[in-house]
Amino acid sequence: QTGFEMKRAVVFPDQHYPIHDVKAMNVAHQILREVKPDIFVNLGDVVEGDSVSSHRWKRRKRPPLEYQLPLIEKEIELVNKELDKVDAILDEVGCKERHICQGNHDEWYDMFVEENPYLDHLTFRKAYKWDERGFKFKKYNEVLTIGKLSFIHGAYTGNNHAKKHLESYGCNLMYGHVHDLQRYSMTRLKDGAISAWSLGCLKNMKAEKNTWLRGRLHNWNHACAIIDFFDNGNFAVQIVEIVKGKTVLNGKEIAG
């Protein structure tokens, strides 16, 4: 086909820095280097947000602000160091189109600033320098659309969350939020086949790192996605599952 131009995207789901899974994240970094994407999409819950979470003080009195601020500043410092690593790889491979879809954990920073409006520099957008990093910013569950595929952080949970997302949004949709891998498809008379993909996470899945799980079993998966966009907006999705710090891409093993 004359003039045909295909663009490739890599999508990262929930990282929850600084309690990301180091091996899974290393694999994700290598995937960026292998694929050399034209587009990068971060589905949000970039941060765990423990320092600004209301859950942190659920059973005890919230301490004075001067006690909280060092914890917040430390989390911001640790997370920015991890984001710098991703930016460096994106610069290295020449990926200029970058998107961030804010997650609910990320939004906790904005809620904290609502309570303390004189600390406006601690909003998620400002604290993690998304504009300076060259990312196009979408607020929590504001829809990003590229070609015929849309992206949000995630709006629903439950056993059949992919079905719920697809029925509610009525378009091809990729999201994170629930940390597991799930796909649901349907065919509509006018639009043809549409699907919703839940992309898993890149978070440390060990119970002791996620104290709120209280030892419960879960169905989380580590993964990221490679998406090929055709010139007419159609696309093909490749889910790259990461199992215990390893995956295979184009017949090549990648270990973290």
* Predicted local confidence at residue 53, as pLDDT: 86
| pLDDT tens digits, 97-139 | 999 999 999 999 999 999 999 999 999 999 999 999 999 999 9
Q: What separation in angstroms does the CA of 221 have from each of 70, 83, 132?
A: 32, 21, 31
pLDDT band at 59 (very low <50, low <70, confident <90, very high): low
Helix (H) or strand (E) holding 101: strand 97-101
Q: Cβ-count burial of 80 within 10 angstroms (0-12 exposed, 13-18 middle, 19+ buried)?
A: middle
* Predicted local confidence at residue 206, as pLDDT: 80
* Predicted local confidence at residue 2, as pLDDT: 40
Of the two residues 210 and 152, the one the predictor is more confident about is 152
* Predicted local confidence at residue 56, as pLDDT: 76
| pLDDT tens digits, 161-197 | 999 999 999 999 999 999 999 999 999 888 789 999 9
User: Strands (DSSP E) along 149-191, which ranges?
Assistant: 149-151, 173-175, 181-188
> Half-sphere exposure of residue 23, counting CA atoms within 13 Å on the CB side?
13
| pLDDT tens digits, 223-236 | 999 999 998 889 99
User: What's the chain's length in residues?
Assistant: 256
Cβ(100)–Cβ(130) below 8 Å:
yes
Q: Is the peptide bond before 63 cis (omega within 30 degrees of 0)?
A: no
